């Protein structure tokens, strides 16, 4: 076993792709935009838990409140008094590039040709270091963060177009990678989706105003009517004259939504790519049962992200579904690392078994993904200690063999279990009686991507744009910018 794949001495790291980020923008004539943005961010908390923030504008200035922690930890009633106004944007962050530090909490506020501009982004700009140098050389820009979002903000606020649409399009010609942006000046809200549509962004209507958000669940939480997803390369401008939109003419016409949105990232009650995420996950489980049947007594899922897929597997296979693992939903992130003898503490803190349900049973255990393989062996061991007779692991995603450079922290190639071990070696490593992954063909059959439309680079290595394979998350800290 290579050293990169050994379980760490201390804590057991989270073994799923790390969250991306969540963004929201609210324009309302009722003047409570920041409060609406708060509740929208609360619905998007699953997309990042490192920091969060809201920027508000009232036609005269732009005010930002951002800090480290969860949305409910950052905002108290007095914090909303300076955030008065009919327009607000918000962000909840997981750092896909750049450190988890206060200077990188978003929205970021910059100044340039067009006055104060606040901006928040979900994604990763792979040529951010080069763009940062251009801004320093051409405009003498100074940077207060190590995130690529500041690069975008300064590019936008130093562009030469006569309208915001033209300025965004000018940026799109230079930006390489994935992004869904919300920005605002003192009197205008801007939203934009990258020309490949890798990161999600949707549009809704609320009481004569407008809302944009990473997921439709955020619209539901604030009572907005879901209208549609933004098209790849689309820019939406909202101001006192209403809403207008335009699509960049330089796009390829291809769609490359990150398929992991449907597998894992998005909330099950969100609409994405025109589909209810919960239904897609059930169908993934059913396809998994077709591809990898096994004789068993019960199907269980690893809660909560795999529950729908486990139900789909059970329905297709005819094997009864049951809860077998109970998740402690109130476990937050901890910085206390247990000693070697307590290395399973991280998993035991998060899960407990229903011994009377699983004892003596042959189990099909459905999970959404295996990344480093650091958690799965402990889960299998927990089930065996709970009395499971057999443990057959089924994964409703193909093997992850390639890192992501488009806004998801997926680990390096040398850390990815499936990039370094065969199927039999992985099965032995995690301690399962058998192991089956969903095929890429089966995945695309379910999501409707047989003819394209999704980014599946983490499975296939076919990136939608050229990438530097050793690109570092912290590239901007070494004299260049970081993402999100």
Report, as residue numbers or ranges, the catalytic residues.
21
Residue corresponding to tokens 């207008």: 244
Exposed e or buried b per residue across 144-174, where buried means at least 16 C-beta atoms within 10 angstroms of its C-beta:
ebbbbbbbbbbbbbbbeeeebbebbbbbbee
Burial of 418-438, coded b for 16+ CB within 10 Å and e otherwise, reads: bbbbeeeebbebbbbbbbbbb
Query: Nearest 5°: CA angle at 90, between 84 and 91?
Result: 155
- Strands 434-437, 275-276: pairing kind: unpaired
Distance separating alpha carbons of residues 295 and 363, to the nearest angstrom: 9
How many other CB atoms are found less than 10 A from the CB of residue 325?
Answer: 22
Among 241, 366, 367, residue whose Cα is nearest residue 314: 366
3-state secondary structure string across 216-273: HHHHHHCCCEEEEECCCCEEEEEECCEEEEEECCCCCCCCEEECHHHHHHCCCCCEEC
Q: Are the beta carbons of 320 and 298 closer than 8 angstroms?
A: yes
Classify 325 as helix, strand or coil: strand
């Amino acid at each position: 076993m290579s050293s990169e794949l050994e379980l760490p001495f201390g804590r057991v790291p989270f073994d799923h792709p790390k969250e991306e980020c969540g963004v929201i923008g609210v324009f309302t004539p009722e003047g409570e935009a920041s409060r609406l943005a708060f509740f929208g961010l609360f619905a998007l908390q699953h997309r990042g838990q490192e920091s969060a923030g809201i920027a508000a504008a009232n036609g005269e200035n732009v005010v930002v409140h951002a800090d480290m922690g969860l949305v409910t930890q950052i905002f108290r009633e007095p914090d909303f008094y300076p955030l008065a106004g009919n327009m607000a944007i918000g962000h909840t962050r997981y750092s896909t590039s750049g450190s988890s530090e206060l200077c990188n909490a978003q929205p970021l506020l910059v100044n340039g040709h067009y006055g104060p501009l606040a901006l928040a982004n979900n994604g990763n700009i792979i040529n951010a270091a080069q763009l940062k140098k251009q801004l320093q050389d051409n405009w003498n820009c100074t940077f207060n963060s190590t995130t690529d979002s500041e690069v975008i903000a300064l590019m936008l606020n130093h562009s030469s177009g006569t309208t915001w649409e033209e300025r965004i399009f000018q940026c799109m010609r230079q930006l390489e990678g994935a992004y869904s942006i919300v920005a605002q000046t003192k009197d205008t809200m801007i939203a934009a989706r990258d020309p490949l549509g890798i990161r999600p962004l949707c549009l809704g209507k609320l009481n004569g105003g407008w809302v944009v958000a990473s997921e439709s669940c955020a619209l539901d939480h604030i009572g907005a009517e879901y209208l549609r997803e933004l098209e790849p390369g689309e820019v939406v401008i909202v101001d006192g004259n209403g809403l207008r939109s335009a699509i960049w003419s330089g796009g390829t016409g291809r769609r490359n939504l990150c398929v992991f949105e449907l597998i894992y990232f998005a909330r099950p009650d969100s609409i994405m790519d025109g589909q209810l995420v919960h239904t897609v996950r059930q169908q993934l489980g059913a396809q998994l049962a077709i591809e990898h049947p096994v004789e068993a007594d019960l199907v269980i899922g690893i809660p909560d992200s795999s529950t729908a897929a486990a139900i789909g597997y059970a329905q297709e296979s005819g094997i009864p579904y049951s809860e077998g693992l109970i998740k402690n939903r109130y476990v937050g992130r901890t910085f206390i690392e247990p000693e070697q003898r307590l290395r399973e503490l991280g998993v035991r803190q998060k899960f407990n078994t229903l011994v009377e349900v699983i004892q003596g049973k042959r189990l099909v255990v459905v999970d959404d993904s295996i990344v480093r393989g650091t958690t799965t062996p402990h889960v299998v061991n927990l089930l065996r200690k709970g009395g499971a007779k057999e443990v057959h692991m089924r994964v409703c995603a193909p093997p992850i063999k390639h890192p992501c450079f488009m806004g998801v922290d997926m680990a390096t190639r040398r850390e990815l279990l499936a990039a370094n071990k065969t199927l039999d070696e992985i099965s032995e490593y995690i301690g399962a009686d058998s192991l089956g992954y969903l095929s890429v063909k089966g995945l695309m059959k379910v999501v409707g991507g047989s003819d394209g439309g999704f980014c599946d680079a983490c499975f296939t290595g076919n990136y939608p744009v050229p990438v530097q394979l050793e690109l570092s998350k912290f590239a901007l800290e070494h004299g260049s910018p970081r993402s999100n």
